[in-house]
Amino acid sequence: MKINPAVLNRQDAHALFVGAILPRPIAFVSTIGKDGIYNIAPFSFFTGMSTKPAVVGFGVGCRRDGTKKDTLVNIEYTKDYVINLVHEGLAEAMNQAAGEYPSHVDEFKVAGLTPVKSDLVKSPRVAESPVNMECRLMQILEFGQSPNLNSFIVGEVVVVHVQEESWVDGVIKATQVKAIGRLGEDLYCRTKDIFEMKRPRV
């Protein structure tokens, strides 16, 4: 089977991508709108981009009707956001927050999450998440055009909060964090089946 993604419609191209790039980490992105309403939504087109400076990026597509998602609108306005790690206990809340709610809806309330004031950014962080990264917007890369506009949001991580129980011997312990990952279709994975491999010393 050979597929040219350029000839696929948006849905089929998306299905192809999420089947081919996996498992993906989930950035649970919290923001605040210009009217002070809290917003949160999951994004799995998410990656680290640089360690020093600490830079992360995630991709936001358009809504089904071609309009911008609230996360993008809020980040364009405040120039900041928080990326919260999703563990097993947050899976249901994350899924609730993925609904396309109107911008006046407080999605922390919808998902039953507790907003905490951030140290350096206006956007709130999630109390229930084991790791929160406060980010300042650096740039937005755009691909395609509305209704197929994709915005890749690049930001500098200015503070990382780690819950005590996840911080063991000076590192974030995967066995404590219990992150979940995104696969294709409506599938997810846990990080229970972990193995170790030392790299060759050459």
Q: Binding residue for ligand FMN (CB under 6 A) from 25, 32, 70, 166?
A: 70
In whole angstroms, how close is the CB of 69 to ligand FMN at the nearest point? Answer: 4
Residue pair 122/81 in contact (Cβ under 8 Å)? The answer is no
Beta pairing class for 115-116 and 171-172: unpaired
Give the interface segment with ligand FMN, choosing from 68-76, 110-118, 133-141, 163-171 (CB under 6 A).
68-76
Q: Which is nearer to ligand FMN, 69 or 178 (CB)?
A: 69
Tokens of 65: 């009707």
Task: Rule CB under 6 A: say whether 87 interacts with ligand FMN.
Answer: no
Q: Binding residue for ligand FMN (CB under 6 A) from 16, 21, 37, 98?
A: 98
Distance CA 31, CA 150 (A): 19
Task: Rule CB under 6 A: say whether 181 interacts with ligand FMN.
Answer: no
Residue pair 25/46 in contact (Cβ under 8 Å)? The answer is yes
Q: How big is the CA angle at 142 (ends 139 and 147), to the nearest 5 degrees?
A: 140
Query: Which candidate, 70, 87, 67, places its Cα nearest to that of 31?
Result: 70
Task: Rule CB under 6 A: say whether 124 interacts with ligand FMN.
Answer: no
In whole angstroms, how close is the CB of 112 to ligand FMN at the nearest point? Answer: 16
The residue with tokens 């000076």 is 170
Task: Rule CB under 6 A: say whether 61 interacts with ligand FMN.
Answer: yes
The letter for the amino acid at 96 is Q
Beta pairing class for 131-143 and 150-162: antiparallel
Task: Rule CB under 6 A: say whether 44 interacts with ligand FMN.
Answer: yes
Q: Binding residue for ligand FMN (CB under 6 A) from 69, 87, 125, 161?
A: 69
Footprint of ligand FMN (CB under 6 A): 26, 39, 41-45, 59-61, 69-71, 95, 98-100, 107, 182
